[in-house]
Structure 1
Amino acid sequence: MNHRRLGRSGLSISEITYGNWLTHGELVGRDSALACIRAALDAGISTFDTADVYALGAAEEVLGEALRPVRRSSVEIATKVCLPTGDGPNDRGLSRKHIMESCHASLRRLGTDYVDLYQAHRFDERTPLDETLIAFDDLVRQGKVLYLGVSEWTAPQIRAALDLAEDMGLRSRIVANQPQYNMLWRVIEPEVLPLCRSAGIGQVVFQPLAQGVLTGKYLPGRPPPEGSRASSAGRAPRFIRRVLGDQLLERIQQLRPLADEAGLSMAQLAIAWTLQQDGVDSAIIGATRPEQVTENTAAAGVRLSGDLIVKIDAVLGDLVDRDPAKTAQMMAVKPAWSREQA
């Protein structure tokens, strides 16, 4: 497993990050979740990503339990704050109250004194930005947070935070951004990526497999295979089924010969492509079985040829979405490959 510096910070993270969104505490039982995390550690992954909202805290608890036997300084733990964790008016957002209370709750669930990376899960229009930045800065000064990041912020929102932190003389700054990014969903390329590269902010991207669509397991004209996320209970089908359509799935199958040419599985091809994009420091993978972790981590260190990348772009063509207005919308709007176009 290779490691890369996170943006211009001094923090090294593994090329592949293990994340537990929509899995631990929701789709995957405790024993399977623990086995997946052990497989990640065995594969050399040192960076683990979660959030307070994932399974309403259960995902953090499972991660904390799995990492308890591991020397704390040998891993990097990232979590997030902003999305609703309860029904109260202060159980969401980026107010000082919610940030402080959520951070302390996350530390308890994770069983640690500090997190390496604390991320604003979304931008909060209702809270003054200076209040949010001061609260984060205080957590850094207290030693409960080492580095700061954001997730699914637009370029103007990131720019505003950088400028305000400088104007206020805050010592801590944003060093990481966690956007959705893959072969199909490239909405960060026009605005977010250029800004982050110039500001020294690294990308730790999620959904490199586009909800599993880029693995090729979903076939045109056929129902989702048994055991896949699209066929399961919970929230996963809602996220996946809205982007499944025969037009997309037929194009995905055209990537299979390219994966064969590179000696990779479809999943490995998608992850390797993501890791090769300028500005991306790590790609987050999830898993429901340990063997998925083993397969996906084999993409670390793989270098795709320029010709192969050109061929991938030619196959996907007009299905690639690069609209910067869709940043932070998590494909809630109609993507270029939506079912309506199938």
Structure 2
Amino acid sequence: MEYRRLGKSGLKVSALSLGSWLTFGNQIEDKVAEELMDVAYEGGVNFFDNAEGYAGGKSELVMGKILKKKNWDRSSYIVSSKIFFGAEEKKPNMIGLSKKHIFEGTHNALKRLQLDYLDLIYCHRPDKETPIEETVWAMHQLIQSGKALYWGTSEWSALEIMQAHYFAEKNHLVPPVMEQPQYNMLWREKIENEFLLLFRDFGMGTTIWSPLASGLLSGKYNDADPKDTRFSIESLEWLKNRLLVEDNIKKVKLLKVLADKLNTTLAKLAIAWCLKNPNVSTVILGATKVSQLKENLTAMEVLPLLTSEIMDEIDVITGTKPENIIV
């Protein structure tokens, strides 16, 4: 396993990490979740990603029980949570990024995870009803209290993140260290264009999600629409409508031919492609089966195959490379 600095911080994260969105406390049994964490940890993964909103808090409960049972050295792994969507209840002040919800949400996440502190805490979405100044102050105080070590954002715009940095600098507060954006062969604008100034000026790290575009880049939808996947979940109809379109399927089929030529799987090619970007700190993997995770944890082996010619070929196939680079 390769370990990378989380942006300009001193924290080292495994290049591949394990996420729990849609799986822990939802799609898979707790026993499978434990097996996945075992395989990941033994494979060198040191970062486990979670959020208060995943399965209404159940994902954190499942992960917390597993961490308690394993009794791994606390300094050997990194755990995150994200605050915004709340857990089971959604009453006023139980969602968003107000100081009240940030403090109470973090406290509840720690209880569910059975931890004394979080390594990473994210503002899961921007909150249009809370001033960024209030959120930055709250995150600073959270870090100062020792309840979390680093804070960051998820799916914020570059402008919003810059505003947070400028306010933090002006008031000598702890700034955001990392952003968690979606990034894959089909979804590239933020990482490869919009965020370039963030990387240059603030040294932001990234913990990217959806490297396989919700499974599309594994090739499993090329000839069918499997009923046991996340696209069959009613609440994710929007995701299915955005990704599972004819143009994307054509691209994925061509990418599969390229993966075959390289004697690797399409999933491993897609993950390695993400890792190729120097602004990616870690790629968060999701899995419902142990065999699937074991396979994808070997994606680092594909990196040497990604020559400039192969990367150019991928650009031609996908047609998603940003054109108007801002720096």
What TM-score bracket applies, with the shorter chain setting the length? over 0.9
Structure 1 residue 238: Cα displacement: 4.6
Residue 228 of structure 1 pairs with residue 229 of structure 2: yes
User: What is the aligned counterpart of 2:158 among 155, 158, 168?
Assistant: 155
Cα displacement (A) at 1:313: 0.8
Structure 1, residues 108-148: CA drift from partner, whole Å, max 9, x if none? Answer: 11111001010100111211222111111111111110011
Contact 2:4 2:281 in 1 (8 A): yes
1:141 corresponding residue in structure 2? 144
- Return closer, same or farther for 1:227/1:88 CA change in 2, 3 Å cut-off: closer
Q: Does the aligned pair in 2 maintain the 1:149–1:174 contact within 8 Å?
A: yes
Q: Which has the higher helix share?
A: 2
Q: What is the identity, as a one-letter code, of the residue corresponding to 1:290?
A: V
Number of residue pairs the alignment of both structures matches: 318
Instruction: State whether residues 8 and 200 of structure 1, in contact with CA within 8 Å, keep that contact through their aligned partners in structure 2.
Output: yes
What is the correspondence of 1:94-133 to structure 2 with a 5 Å cutoff? Answer: 94-133=97-136
RMSD: 1.7
Counterpart for residue 180 of structure 2: 178
> Which residue pairs with 1:212 in the alignment?
215
Q: Which runs of 5+ in 1 are unaligned?
A: 325-342
Distance 1:251 1:201 in 2: 31
Partner of 2:7: 7
Is the 2:218–2:266 contact (alpha carbons within 8 Å) kept by the matching residues of 1? Answer: yes
Alignment of 1:278-297 (within 5 A): 278-297=278-297
User: Contact 1:185 / 1:322 at 8 angstroms: preserved in 2?
Assistant: no
For residues 131-174 of structure 1, give each alpha carbon's deviation from its aligned partner in whole angstroms, at most 9, with x where no partner exists. Answer: 1111111111111100111111111101100000011111x221
Query: Any idea what the Cα deviations from partners look like across 1:168-204, whole Å, max 9, x if unmatched?
Result: 111x221111000100001202222332333110111
Q: Give the aligned partner of residue 339 of structure 1.
A: none
Could you say which structure has the greater relative contact order, defined with CA pairs below 8 angstroms and 6 or more residues apart?
1
1:42, CA displacement in angstroms?
1.9
Q: Which residue matches 1:332?
A: none
Task: Find the aligned partners of 1:250 and 1:129 in 2 and give their Cα distance.
Answer: 42
Counterpart contact for 2:213–2:243, Cα < 8 Å: no
- The alpha-carbon deviation at position 321 of structure 1 amounts to 7.4
- Does the aligned pair in 2 maintain the 1:22–1:235 contact within 8 Å? no
Distance in 2 between the 1:102 and 1:62 partners? 17
**Residue 33 and residue 238 in structure 1: after superposition, are their counterparts in 2 closer, same or farther (change >3 A)?**
farther
Over 3 Å counting, the alpha-carbon distance change for 1:27 and 1:238 in structure 2 is: farther
Question: Contact conserved, 1:38 with 1:66, CA < 8 A, in 2?
Answer: no
Q: Which moved more, 1:105-114 or 1:259-268?
A: 259-268
Equivalent of 2:76 in 64, 69, 74: 74
Shift of 1:260: 2.2
CA separation of 1:156/1:233 partners in 2, compared to 1, >3 Å: closer, same or farther?
A: closer
- 1:6–1:138 distance in 2 versus 1, CA, 3 Å: same
Structure 1's consecutive aligned runs of 4 or more residues displaced over 6 angstroms after TM superposition are none
Task: Give percent identity, aligned residues only.
Answer: 39
Unmatched segments (≥5 aa) in structure 2: none
Please tell me the residue identity of whatever aligns with 1:310.
Answer: D
Instruction: State the secondary structure of the residue aligned to 2:121.
Output: strand
Q: 1:261-297: CA deviations, max 9, x gaps?
A: 3332100000000011131111111000111111111
Identify which of 191, 194, 197 aligns with 2:197.
194
Distance 1:78 1:140 in 2: 13
Corresponding residue number in structure 2 for 1:24: 24
Between stretches 94-103 and 303-312, larger displacement belongs to: 303-312
Q: Which amino acid aligns with 1:127?
A: T
Question: Is 1:167 aligned to residue 181 of structure 2?
Answer: no
Query: Which whole-Å CA distance do the structure 1 matches of 2:150 and 2:299 have between them?
Result: 27
SS at match of 1:13: strand
**Which secondary structure does the structure 2 equivalent of 1:292 belong to?**
helix
Opposite residue 126 of structure 1, the aligned amino acid is E
Q: Is the 8 A contact 1:27 1:234 kept in 2?
A: no
- Residue identity opposite 2:256 in structure 1: R
Partner SS, residue 112 of structure 1? coil
In the alignment, the residues of structure 2 paired with residue 145 and residue 313 of structure 1 have an alpha-carbon distance, to the nearest angstrom, of: 39
TM-score (norm 2): 0.92
**Letter of the structure 2 residue corresponding to residue 151 of structure 1:** S
